[in-house]
């Protein structure tokens, strides 16, 4: 990723390497605006307008033909809206739950109960954090066993009170530390996956950034799974796959292409039910719109599930068995 720059709207953007043409143009716009404010320039409105059009065209051209590896970079963009952004915008009366009643609290998993458009629901999500302090607090969204056991607690309560469940997936994977392994990381992921599959209430999962391996699937075995347009979902990171296959993590670009990790690939493979569009330039350029669109998709998904008059557990079973049979 290249350094910070200020976008044409006057806010800070972290530009990805392949966005350099856009960064250069928006840098020129910023300089012109500064000159205009200081009174050192003649009327520059026309030039700014021309450059802004070039920015829009450049973004459109770049994002029209993103490679899977570039999509992975967009999915990891630090300015993307994260789990708590969605929770705060889409839900009311959010009451978080903490701790697994066994070891302790894990801030990588955010969960609790709230109202979604007036209806009570359970929420579970992975929070990466938005600055250094919050990223350390949330362990960059990489959950430990206590996080998954907390998720199971919330699922069990949702089951007991018959509340629909929404999960928001955004993790590079479960935390692979020694302490996590000592406390039963694999077992905790397996139990969370099993509990998520066995729910008798409707469940919807949205991959809002990265969907990394078992750390993601533990809360994503839902009746309907949606992905943001530039999010990714895979059994291993491109870097990890390249290290195993070619003993060369720098071939992550090749691995990303071969693994079919994009929302478009996974919709074609029928692993997910739908794609939520992102603005040109990624979700971080218009977070309010992306979050609102995600809310509309969640509402539509629940309406469809409720109208189907189905056994949600059996629906889930058939859905995931079909993935295994058809791939």
Question: What is the number of structural domains in the chain?
Answer: 2
Q: Does the structure show a pLDDT above 60 at 9?
A: no
**Chain segment 21-75, per-residue pLDDT in tens:** 777 777 777 777 777 676 665 667 777 777 778 778 788 888 888 999 999 999 9
Q: Identify whether residues 56 and 156 lie together within a single domain.
A: no
Q: Identify whether residues 142 and 275 lie together within a single domain.
A: yes
Give the bridge partners for 226, in sequence order.
206, 274
Q: Identify whether residues 122 and 219 lie together within a single domain.
A: yes
d(CA 264, CA 229): 8
Instruction: Give whole-number Cα distances, 161 to 80, 122, 164, 202, 243, in Å.
Output: 33, 10, 9, 13, 45
pLDDT band at 10 (very low <50, low <70, confident <90, very high): very low
In our burial notation (b when 16+ CB lie closer than 10 A, e otherwise), range 171-202 reads bbbbbeeeebeebbbeebbebbbebbbebebb
Q: Identify whether residues 163 and 311 lie together within a single domain.
A: yes
Q: Identify whether residues 59 and 100 lie together within a single domain.
A: no
Q: Identify whether residues 79 and 223 lie together within a single domain.
A: yes
Contacts 24+ apart (CB under 8 A), 237-246: 237/172, 237/173, 237/212, 237/213, 238/68, 238/69, 238/72
Q: Identify whether residues 39 and 125 lie together within a single domain.
A: no
Q: Identify whether residues 131 and 36 lie together within a single domain.
A: no
Q: Identify whether residues 43 and 84 lie together within a single domain.
A: no
pLDDT of residue 6: 44
CATH for 304: 3.90.226.10
Rg, C-alpha atoms of the chain: 21
**How many residues does the structure list for the chain?**
327
For residues 262 and 71, is the Cβ–Cβ distance under 8 A?
yes
Q: Identify whether residues 56 and 78 lie together within a single domain.
A: no
Q: Identify whether residues 247 and 105 lie together within a single domain.
A: yes
For residues 73 and 1, is the Cβ–Cβ distance under 8 A?
yes
**Chain segment 219-249, per-residue pLDDT in tens:** 999 999 999 999 999 999 898 899 999 999 8
Q: Which domain holds residue 37?
A: 4-65
3-state DSSP assignment of residue 168: strand
Q: Does the structure show a pLDDT above 70 at 188?
A: yes
Give the bridge partners for 207, in sequence order.
169, 227
Count CB neighbours of 268 within 10 A.
11
pLDDT of residue 64: 87
Q: Identify whether residues 58 and 82 lie together within a single domain.
A: no
Average pLDDT rounded to a whole number, residues 279-302: 94
Last residue of a domain, one of 21, 40, 65: 65
For residues 148 and 109, is the Cβ–Cβ distance under 8 A?
yes
pLDDT of residue 17: 80
Give 156's contacts (C-beta < 8 A, 6+ positions apart).
Answer: 195
């Amino acid at each position: 990723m290249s350094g910070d720059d200020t976008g044409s709207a006057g806010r800070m953007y972290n530009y990805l390497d392949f966005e350099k043409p856009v960064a250069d143009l928006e840098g020129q716009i910023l300089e012109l605006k500064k000159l205009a404010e200081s009174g050192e320039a003649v009327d520059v409105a026309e030039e700014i307008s021309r450059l802004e059009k070039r920015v829009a065209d450049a973004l459109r051209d770049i994002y029209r033909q993103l490679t899977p590896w570039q999509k992975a970079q967009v999915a990891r963009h630090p300015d993307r809206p994260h789990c708590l952004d969605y929770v705060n915008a889409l839900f009311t009366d959010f009451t978080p739950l903490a701790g697994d009643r066994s070891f302790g609290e894990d801030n990588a998993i955010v969960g609790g109960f709230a109202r979604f458009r007036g209806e009570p629901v359970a929420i579970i999500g992975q929070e990466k954090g938005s600055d250094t302090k919050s990223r350390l607090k949330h362990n960059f969204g990489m959950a430990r066993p206590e996080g998954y056991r907390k998720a199971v607690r919330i699922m069990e309560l949702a089951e007991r009170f018959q509340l629909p469940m929404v999960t928001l997936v955004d993790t590079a994977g479960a935390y692979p530390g020694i302490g996590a392994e000592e406390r039963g990381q694999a077992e905790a992921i397996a139990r969370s996956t099993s509990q998520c599959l066995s729910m008798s209430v409707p469940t919807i999962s949205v991959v809002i950034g990265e969907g990394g391996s078992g750390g993601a699937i533990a809360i994503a075995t839902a009746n309907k799974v949606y992905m943001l347009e530039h999010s990714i979902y895979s059994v291993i990171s491109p870097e990890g796959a390249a290290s195993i296959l070619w003993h060369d993590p720098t071939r992550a670009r090749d691995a990303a292409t071969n693994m079919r990790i994009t929302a478009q690939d996974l919709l074609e493979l029928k692993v997910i039910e739908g794609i939520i569009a992102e603005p040109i330039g990624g979700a971080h350029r218009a977070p309010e719109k992306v979050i609102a669109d995600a809310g509309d998709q969640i509402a539509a998904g629940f309406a469809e599930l409720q109208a189907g008059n189905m056994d949600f557990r059996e629906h889930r079973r058939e859905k995931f068995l079909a993935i295994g049979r058809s791939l």
